[in-house]
Structure 1
């Protein structure tokens, strides 16, 4: 079959009016022109769509069944048109981001205004460790990854967001060099930072936990010391549950950033998010992270 959407529209008008003349008037066509299109559409079926009884046009049962399907086709076609318009106008669509665990303290503030301005956009934000984030990025399952360290084995583009500083922290203001060290699991960027700083320290007991929140609670409980990003412990620092230990070689400084595969063609929504972040980054930092920038500059 090789019918056109226009032929479907014509046939539906004929069904509606049960008259070629009235259908032609409704569609602002001449009757001969409409009749030709109706005939071309009819020729694609072995069964009649219409029949003339007593000089009056009637729609056959088969014709009504085709009309029902034609309505569905035109409805879906209209949906395609509006979906395209919606994407161009950023009224709807999907945005997928995978964030390293600690990024949950940062990225929502840079997404909030964008999602508020475009309520039709469905956001999927997956928070996991860096290894899984990079797996999702390499397999092209997401639009962006939110990480603090650029991967060395993957070609990416980046948009820097905000500085990330990691300090040695403890539940006590006094440093105890014999206290256990609390690590994140393998694959975490924070774990890599601790491995880099402490190397293969063997004289201190090591604990390993699988989330930044678990590490933070363990530090508060006095189970040991850990290298943590300051951006995730504001409340604990303010009430004195956690203390920063000033030690040589710290803080470790990186940058939180959005990254995406090099040469990836970003969707209009993804491109619009980048533009939004570039326009609002300084204001978001001032509104939500002024405490952080002031603290790290002390």
Structure 2
């Protein structure tokens, strides 16, 4: 056996993604490079690790056992690296954060300076919908979560970061009167929704229900980017977080449409379980955030005032 750590990491991603293409994208490699490493790794075993059925890749039972062993090896290597840094007096370890999908426009700006300052810390950030974010906290898989609505069933601490404004938006291709949209007009708009489990979806449904609107037609898409592109293309209108449409507004691809009761306002908050024993990395990040959040928000998000003041 002469496999490398690089091969182990690639095979772990393949076992998780069940796809050479997705693995290549995640690891910033070419597909041929991933395929070659998978072949070289497979050549060291007489039992198949993967199989192709139809056009889909599946990991065999033996492959899954190898993936579990590979994960343990990678974890031990990480431990060695972290202990080495610790003996050198450097903060080290993993910082795990789960982020509600639209939060991807916020969280990186609150992390970049910290990660630059503590280069011994590895970041694992999962971007998904609200339901899965809360689930990851329930399973104690993360240190923190970024949400716009506090979970009702979890006992958490929280730090308020910034307001989240949600506006009715439409394509520049569709002409809409600049006066406030009235009920009769709103109900004629084809509305595009996020998927079930999305906090943006929940806010939009609550707004429609509160105003007793009868939605004429609705579509459902599974990401903020997909909704944004559909609105730009003129497929319909949607209530979207301002934080995710800055470029499209400035490029005059989207228009904010005034409507009674809008914008909806929630708060981006970083949360963690009260029962959680935070790692040194997590404690350091909390201290960093408390000291720097105002300056970082002013630096990166002052543009929001142009649309909300």
* 1:174 match: 176
Q: What root-mean-square deviation, in Å, do the aligned CA atoms of Structure 1 and Structure 2 show?
A: 2.2
Is the 2:147–2:269 Cα contact (8 Å) retained in structure 1? yes
Is the 2:221–2:227 Cα contact (8 Å) retained in structure 1? yes
Q: 1:186 aligns with which of 196, 211, 235?
A: 196
* 1:198 match: 208
> Using the alignment, how far apart are the partners of 1:203 and 1:82 within structure 2?
54
Flag the 1:284–1:88 CA change in 2: closer, same or farther, 3 A: farther
> Using the alignment, how far apart are the partners of 2:295 and 2:252 within structure 1?
29
CA drift of 1:280 comes to 1.1
Flag the 1:280–1:173 CA change in 2: closer, same or farther, 3 A: farther
Is the 2:147–2:268 Cα contact (8 Å) retained in structure 1? yes
Show the 5 A alignment for 1:191-270.
Answer: 191-199=201-209, 201-270=213-282
- The worse-fitting range, judged by mean Cα deviation, of 88-97 and 156-165 is 88-97
Unaligned runs of 5+ in 2: 1-75, 178-184
Flag the 1:261–1:82 CA change in 2: closer, same or farther, 3 A: closer
Q: 2:285 aligns with which of 256, 273, 276?
A: 273
Q: Aligned with 1:126: secondary structure?
A: strand
Flag the 1:116–1:173 CA change in 2: closer, same or farther, 3 A: farther
Normalization by structure 1: what TM-score? 0.69
CA drift of 1:263 comes to 2.6
Q: How big is each residue's C-alpha offset from its partner over 1:238-272, in whole Å with a ceiling of 9 and x where there is no partner?
A: 12111111111111111111100113221111011
CA drift of 1:91 comes to 2.8
Q: How big is each residue's C-alpha offset from its partner over 1:116-163, in whole Å with a ceiling of 9 and x where there is no partner?
A: 001111100000000000000011000001101101111110011111
> Using the alignment, how far apart are the partners of 2:268 and 2:88 within structure 1?
29
Is the 2:91–2:280 Cα contact (8 Å) retained in structure 1? no
Pair 1:151-2:151 in alignment: yes
Normalization by structure 2: what TM-score? 0.67
Q: Aligned with 1:289: secondary structure?
A: helix
Flag the 1:80–1:205 CA change in 2: closer, same or farther, 3 A: closer
> Using the alignment, how far apart are the partners of 1:87 and 1:153 within structure 2?
40
Flag the 1:80–1:126 CA change in 2: closer, same or farther, 3 A: closer
* 1:282 match: 294
CA drift of 1:192 comes to 0.1
Q: Aligned with 1:104: secondary structure?
A: helix
> Using the alignment, how far apart are the partners of 1:164 and 1:127 within structure 2?
17
Q: Aligned with 1:98: secondary structure?
A: strand
Is the 1:87–1:268 Cα contact (8 Å) retained in structure 2? no
- The worse-fitting range, judged by mean Cα deviation, of 164-173 and 150-159 is 164-173
Is the 2:191–2:215 Cα contact (8 Å) retained in structure 1? no
* 1:130 match: 130
- The worse-fitting range, judged by mean Cα deviation, of 79-88 and 138-147 is 79-88
* 2:160 match: 160
> Using the alignment, how far apart are the partners of 1:203 and 1:125 within structure 2?
36
CA drift of 1:173 comes to 5.2
> Using the alignment, how far apart are the partners of 2:146 and 2:273 within structure 1?
12
> Using the alignment, how far apart are the partners of 1:277 and 1:114 within structure 2?
9
Provide the aligned length of Structure 1 versus Structure 2: 220
